[in-house]
Structure 1
Amino acid sequence: MKIFTPAYRSAFSAVFGIAAASAAVLAAAVPEAAFAAQVYHNEDGTDLSVFGRVEARYMNKTSRNERKGGIEGRTRLGVAASSKIVSGVKAVAFGEWEVASATSQNGKWNTRYAYTGFDFSQYGTLVFGQGESARYLAAGFTDVFEDAGFHGQNYPMLGERQEGQVMYALAVGGYTLSASLQTPNRGMGRYFDHDRQVWQDLDVNLGFAAAGTYNWTDGLLDGLAFGISYDWYDNEHSVSGDRHDFGVAFSYGHLGDGLYTAVQYSREKFKSEKHHSTGWEAVGGYAFECGLGFMLGFGYEGYHFDRAENSYLAGQVSYDFNPSLKLYGEGELGLGRLDYPQPETKQHSRYEIGLIYSF
């Protein structure tokens, strides 16, 4: 998944034909939506579009079972719909599903996004279902790779695209604001308790997230963006107790269009643990007009500053044959040994080469 940036607002607007910025936040602005095909349009304001992508990739360690490398296939399919209710209000729906090769992930369709609700034009978008929490609005600044990186902080702990949420987003000028409410949900994730040295299942009784960003679009600061976020979760059956997380991020440029750089900091605390977990992520790269692009990234997360949970370098080189077909190669190099989940855990490097056709 790629970060939401102003460059993708018009792409998602083409799918919904409504409130580009707020709708794009809620769907994390999937890039393949830029190629959506409108399959139905009615003068009463009803629209239906489909989009997706098909990918083949060679991985030195295939997904899930970490067996030796091979080629896997992966397909995504999405639908977006909107219809007028009254002047200034539309009903909206968005869904996206992914399926991988039968031998690697059992060939089953997995839901990435599934939500429906209302678009109130300049008053924002309110939807219900499965999607990114509001925290992603800032966390997503460094989510720039296909599969590598994006684990120098704990945003993915509860499954990234969380089920059972109420999500709201509003874009006004250069500001974008987002809030999400997580309803009760069992088995949302697993957490390694640093003090007790045990794994715990996380059953969420209630959760809340809020975030805001500002994008400068003119003057000397054109291309600069700032984001801040906070979330809290009541983990009903976890002895680690409630979880709090704060994040701040900066970026400059537009992903996929020339220079793009970003850095983010996060600080997380479970109620019963003595110390915080602190994470840093930084990415930087350039996309040339000829279709060639590259991206480098670094991530570190540690408990009480001095005990590493994640430490890595990531990189990607890509080439766009045309707006639909992309060839990429990316990899991740583990830096040193980790203190968790076992002391002196040896890190392994991995890489993949893929070909993606988006429609």
Structure 2
Amino acid sequence: MTTIRIKLLTASVAVLAFGSANAASIYKTDDSSLILGGRVQANYNSVEATASHDKAAVETSARLRVDANTKIADGVKALGFAEWQVGAETSQNGKWNTRFAYAGFKTDNYGTLTFGQDHTGIYYVIDRTDVFSEYGSRGNTYWEFGGRQEGQIKYNYTNKGFVFNATYQSAGLNAVNNGAATSVGYTFDFSLPLVATVGYDYYDIRNSTDDRNSVAAGLSLGTEGDGFYSGLIYQFTDYDESKNKNGWEALASYGWENGWVLYLGYQNLRQGSAILRSNFIGELQYNFNSNFRVFLDSELGVTDIDTVDAYGRKIQSTGKRSDDKVAIAAQYNF
């Protein structure tokens, strides 16, 4: 069976689903293909990094994905993509949670239209810094409703460095009546590619008058995992009733040809005058090949964090930093 390296293109943005991922081509012709892939990961997590926060432990998880497409007209393909994850040491042991599940159409010249569960349109901005294996991407509000939203209609158009994404969400399982998101970006073809992007999202919250919307901007320089890469994002989130949130993230990384990659980053999230998150993140990984890698991931608190009431108003400082976390992991991709 031949393994091939593939870069998964979601309807919004090209995303490496498992870092350096391989997949098995179960069926392939000039007009159709069916690809099966996934990963198995084992972590040794510190106390605060475990699901129970009780004691340090080994925790494992697995993912499975299916990627299929078939030609239905000249320049038009129908596509379907799904991905699930299961954790071995959780209270939901054995339950497969859906990460992605969408179907739609991909054209040669007019973009991609999909229906189902996927990242929202603003993720193209958040993705500038969402590169850490375990921690990171918490200096923003994108993940407040789970990030990958169900019930979406999604459109992506990419052409000569220009990227446009738009999503409309009809309903959600995470207290969302409806929502919309969009982003635009452009890649400048320098010696190191420079990506500049801005985005917007809106959510009508079920059983609440505290609806929210946000604007975000991001920059990245280089190619993640290949030589030098850096990313920076800022997001401002406005709530109808609660205090507004300001978040930003920054990182720098370098990937060597011998398989080593080092990541260093910082994230900060505030609501009104309250500090909700202030962390340094570091990761060192070694890729034996495109299938197998090991990594050390850590998150270290920087400043004391605050408690807030239901409307995000600061109550008091906790007098301590957020809990430090460490994970040592081995990951096999297939």
Q: Is the pair's TM-score, using the shorter chain for normalization, greater than 0.5? A: yes
Secondary structure at the residue paired with 1:343? strand
CA distances 1:302-345 after superposition (whole Å, capped 9, x unpaired): 123x3201111110001111121101001101122212346323
Contact persistence 1:261–1:284 (CA under 8 A): yes
What SS class does the counterpart of residue 107 from structure 1 fall into?
coil
Q: Secondary structure at the match of 1:314?
A: strand
Name 2:311's counterpart in structure 1. Answer: none
2:186 matched to 1:214?
Answer: yes
The answer to whether the aligner puts 1:205 opposite 2:174 as a matched pair is no
Tell me the residue number matched to 2:71.
Answer: 84
> What SS is found at the alignment partner of 1:333?
strand
Counterparts of 1:185-264 in structure 2, within 5 Å, are 185-186=172-173, 188=174, 203-218=175-190, 222-240=192-210, 242-264=211-233
Q: Which residue of 2 aligns with 1:55?
A: 41
Match of 1:5 in 2: none
Amino acid at match of 2:36: V
Q: CA 1:26/1:293 → structure 2, altered by over 3 Å: closer, same or farther?
A: closer
Q: TM-score, normalised by structure 2?
A: 0.91
Alignment partner of 1:272 is 2:245? no
Corresponding residue for residue 150 of structure 1: 137
Q: Does 1:326 align with 2:321?
A: no
The one-letter code matched in structure 1 to 2:249 is E
Report how far residue 103 of structure 1 moved.
4.5
CA shift, 1:223, in A, is: 1.3
The 8 Å contact of residues 27 and 131 in structure 1, kept in 2 or not, is answered as no
Which of 323, 328, 332 matches 1:348? 323
Q: For the residues of structure 2 that align with 1:34 and 1:148, how far apart are their CA atoms?
A: 19
CA contact (8 A) 1:137 1:211 kept: yes
Shift of 1:217: 1.9
Shift of 1:163: 1.0
Q: Name the structure where helix makes up a greater proportion of residues.
A: 1
After the TM superposition, which segments of 4 or more aligned residues of structure 1 sit over 6 Å from their partners? Answer: none
Cα separation, 1, equivalents of 2:283 and 2:70:
40
Quote the offset at 1:29 in angstroms. Answer: 3.6
Aligned to 1:338: 305
How many Å apart are 1:184 and its aligned residue? 2.1
Q: RMSD of the alignment, in Å?
A: 1.8
**Contact 2:50–2:56 under 8 Å retained in 1:** no
Q: Is 1:257–1:286's contact at 8 Å kept on the other side of the alignment?
A: yes
Partner in structure 1 of residue 332 of structure 2: 357
How many residue pairs are counted as aligned between the two chains? 321
Contact preservation (8 Å) 1:206, 1:233: yes
Query: Which residue identity does 1:72 align to in structure 2?
Result: E
Supply the distance in 2 between the matched residues of 1:252 and 1:66 (Cα, whole angstroms): 37
Check whether the contact 1:215–1:224 (CA below 8 A) recurs between aligned residues. Answer: yes
Partner of 2:312: none
CA distance in structure 1 between the partners assigned to 2:199 and 2:11 by the alignment:
17
Contact 1:76 1:99 survives alignment (8 Å) = yes
**In the alignment, structure 1 residue 11 sits paired with structure 2 residue 34:** no
Closer/same/farther in 2, CA of residues 147 and 33 from structure 1, 3 Å limit: closer
1:28 to partner: Cα distance: 3.6
Rounded Cα–Cα distance in structure 2 between residues aligned with 1:63 and 1:167: 35
1:174–1:165: structure 2 CA closer, same or farther, 3 Å change rule?
same
AA aligned to 1:211 is S
> What is the 5 A alignment of 1:126-141?
126-141=113-128
1:185 Cα deviation after fit: 2.4
Deviation at 1:169, TM superposition (A): 0.6
The reply on whether 1:163 has 2:131 as its aligned counterpart is no
Unaligned runs of 5+ in 2: 309-314
Q: For residues 104 and 297 of structure 1, do their structure 2 counterparts lie closer, same or farther at Cα, with a shift above 3 Å needed?
A: farther
Q: Is residue 11–residue 155 contact of structure 2 (8 Å, CA) maintained in 1?
A: no
> Aligned partners of 1:37 and 1:25: how far apart in 2?
24
Matched, 1:283 2:256: no
Instruction: Give the AA of the match of 2:94.
Output: G
Tell me how far apart the structure 2 counterparts of residues 47 and 76 of structure 1 sit (CA, whole Å). 20
Unaligned runs of 5+ in 1: 1-9, 189-202
Of 49, 56, 61, 1:69 maps to: 56
CA distance in 2, matches of 1:105, 1:336: 34
Distance (Å, rounded) in 2 between the aligned partners of 1:50 and 1:162: 23
CA apart distance, 1:213: 1.4
> Aligned equivalents of 1:334 and 1:102: distance in 2?
26
1:180 to 131, 153, 167: 167
